[in-house]
Homo-oligomer: A and B are copies of this chain.
Amino acid sequence: MSEALIIMAHGSRSETANDEFRLLVERVAEAGEDYVAVLPCFLELARPSLMEALQQIEHQPVARVRVYPLFFNSGKHVARDIPAQVQEARQRHPHLDIRLLDYFGTAEGLAGLVGRHIEAQRDS
């Protein structure tokens, strides 16, 4: 099935920060599954938005889009703002099957990664 993956970050006024996120998305893409496209987008403060990311793939053979929020916690953005943007995207692109995935903070292994990262910096 022709599937695209869009990973969404909050977005920052710092392009250094936004570029770090774009690089992370590239790494996820390389590790990767057979998506037609793996794209970054931002909730606010930076571009592309989710709508703009969807425009980037509108001439590609994509039937299904998965949207992954790279957020730690289910605050207002995860609970309300992102579902609202996804709902708007579905209305604009009714031919696409757009699915909102669980946000990053629910990942199995997050505490382990944090612990290892802290440990790796011990006495360094």
Interface residues of A (CB under 8 A from B): 5, 7, 9, 12-14, 16-18, 20-21, 24, 27-28, 31-33, 66, 68, 70, 72-76, 78-79, 101-102, 104-122
Q: From the candidates B14, B17, B102, B111, name the one contacting A121 in the complex (CB within 8 A).
A: B102
Cβ–Cβ contact A73 & B18, under 8 A: yes
Given A70-B72, A72-B70, A33–B119 Cβ distance below 8 Å? yes
Q: From the candidates B21, B109, B114, B115, name the one contacting A116 in the complex (CB within 8 A).
A: B109
Q: In the assembly, how many copies of this chain are there?
A: 2
Distance A31 CA – B118 CA, assembled complex (angstroms): 12
Q: Which residues in B have their C-beta under 8 angstroms from that of A104?
A: 114, 117
Q: Which residues in B have their C-beta under 8 angstroms from that of A111?
A: 24, 27-28, 31
Cβ–Cβ contact B102 & A107, under 8 A: no
Complex A-B, nearest 4 residue pairs according to Cβ-Cβ distance, in ascending order: A17-B73, A27-B111, A17-B75, A12-B75
